[in-house]
Chains A and B, each alone.
Chain A
Amino acid sequence: MKPRRTNKLLVEPPASATGDIAFNLIIFFLVCASVQPDSGRSQTIPRSDEQQQEEQQDTNIEVTLTPNVVMLDGLRREDAEFFGLLQEKLLNKVRDEDRVVIVKSEPNTPYSRWIKFTELIEQAGGIITIQTEEEVIIAQ
Chain B
Amino acid sequence: MKIKRKQPQADVPSMAMGDIAFNLLIFFVILARAQDDSHLQWEPAQVTEVQNSGAAKVSLVIDSKNKYHINGKQVGAVQLTPIIKSLLGNAPAGERIVLLKVHKSAPAMFFEPAIEAISEAGGDMVHILEQTR
Contacts and interface: CB of A to CB of B under 8 A. Distances in A.
Contacts of A37: 44, 128-130
B104 A39 contact: no
B86 interface: no
A95 interface: no
Interface stretch (A4-12, A19-27, A71-79, A84-92): A19-27
Contacts of B116: 45, 130, 132
Contacts of A140: none
Contact of A38 (B53, B111, B125): B53
Given A45-B119, A107-B109, A115-B45, A26 B50 contact: no
Among A37, A111, A114, the most chain B Cβ lie within 10 Å of the Cβ of A111
Interface string B35-53: 0001000001111111111
Among B52, B53, B106, B107, the most chain A Cβ lie within 10 Å of the Cβ of B107
Contacts of B113: 132
A114 B102 CA distance: 11
B3 interface: no
A114 B108 contact: yes
Interface residues of B, number: 45
Given A36-B38, A37-B128, A108-B109, A26 B22 contact: yes
B97 to A, nearest CB: 8
Contact of B51 (A40, A47, A106, A111): A40
B18 A18 contact: yes
Contacts of B51: 39-42
Contacts of B38: 33-34, 36
Given A40-B126, A130-B115, A132-B116, A22 B109 contact: no
B78 interface: no
Contacts of B45: 111-112, 115-116
Interface of A: 15-16, 18-20, 22-23, 26, 30, 33-34, 36-45, 47, 65, 105-112, 114-116, 119, 130, 132
Interface of B: 14-15, 17-19, 21-22, 25, 29, 38, 44-53, 62, 99, 102-109, 111-113, 115-116, 119-120, 124-131
